Amino acid sequence: MKLLKLVPDDTNIRFLRWRVPFYVVSLILIAASWGLVMTKGLNYGVDFAGGQEVRLTFEQREEAPIPALRDLVGGLGYGEPTIQRFGDANQVSIRIRLPENIEAIEGGANAVGNEVIAAIDAEYPNVRRDGNETVSGKVASEFREKAVYALLAAMLAIALYIWVRFEWQFGVGALFALFHDVSLALGMFALFQMEFSLQIIAAILAIIGYSLNDTIVVYDRIRENLKKYRKMPLPELLDRSVNETLARTVMTSLTLLIALLPLLLFGPASLFGLVAAITLGIFVGTYSSVYMAAPILIWLGVNSNSFVPEESVADRQERLARGEA
């Protein structure tokens, strides 16, 4: 059986010919994304904005009916609830967003929690109440800070890893590509006011992982080619490296999209933000590994001597003794 090839062998696309226009477009998109985040803001979910948390145990069931609970609680008019299992499979934590100014009403937040419990109890008798508590704005603010620190720490750790594995210019290039991808993802959430929750933080970490994987594949080939074609101009060498990894990049991206698109089109509403973020990440991660991470090496001074080991005095003397220049 003949193997399917989406990209012909020996492609010779001059990707870096358009590096300056693409860089300008990307910088505009990054600025626009942060402008949206600063002006429109992110639509924080209960995790980051605070709300009411209800914990329940379905004593006569082995497993909590989470999809049905999402429909039931979502129909109460408090927005999309966040429902997660905790402890055993029949224990759930339900978090809902509170109406504005309800915290100013004594007992108002707990009344909302009681309404949720009553609605569930009517549908599923003998549900045990384990908790009905308010998640304050201060706690939510701490969640936001920790999420930001987690993202920054992940990006810095990755940049350091690439710095050690390659050269410092490669670490800077990878960090800039990751900053580009994360900025555009945040811009999408600010533009469409999609709910931004802990689930989306997980999606952004997945974007970072995918983008990094693609960037390392391209960087590995650049390093090999730098050692192999020492007199080749760097733009030509970068184009060659990207072309040599193109088939792998296209196939990886396509298989991921095949898995994600059905979820994006027909999946549950609760997963839409997560899947949309990862789908966007596949496009921008692939783009940034070609047009952000590779061209920046030219401006950061990578050249044919970048991976040549430094010659010691003894080695130099030995080479001269052999009569080599």
Rounded to the nearest 5°, which phi and psi values hold at 229? -115, 75
From the number of C-beta atoms within 10 Å of its C-beta (0-12, 13-18, 19+), residue 299 rates as exposed
CA 95 to chain CA mean position, Å: 24
Q: Distance between CA atoms of 109 and 58, rounded to whole angstroms?
A: 23
Q: Give yes or no for residue 7 having a pLDDT over 80.
A: no
Is residue 155 within 8 Å of 178, Cβ to Cβ? yes
Q: Would you list the domain boundaries of the chain?
A: 15-42+140-300, 51-135
From the number of C-beta atoms within 10 Å of its C-beta (0-12, 13-18, 19+), residue 219 rates as buried
What type of residue is 273? G
Report the top-level CATH class of 15-42+140-300. mainly alpha
pTM over 0.95: no
Q: Distance between CA atoms of 124 and 118, rounded to whole angstroms?
A: 10
Nearest to residue 114, comparing CAs of 97, 91, 133, 93?
133
Does 51-135 match 15-42+140-300 at the fold level? no
At 162-210, the pLDDT tens digits run 888 888 888 889 889 989 999 999 999 999 888 888 888 888 888 888 8
Q: At the topology level of CATH, where does 51-135 sit?
A: Alpha-Beta Plaits (3.30.70)
At 128-163, the pLDDT tens digits run 888 887 776 677 778 788 888 888 888 888 878 888
17 CB neighbour count, 10 Å cutoff: 11
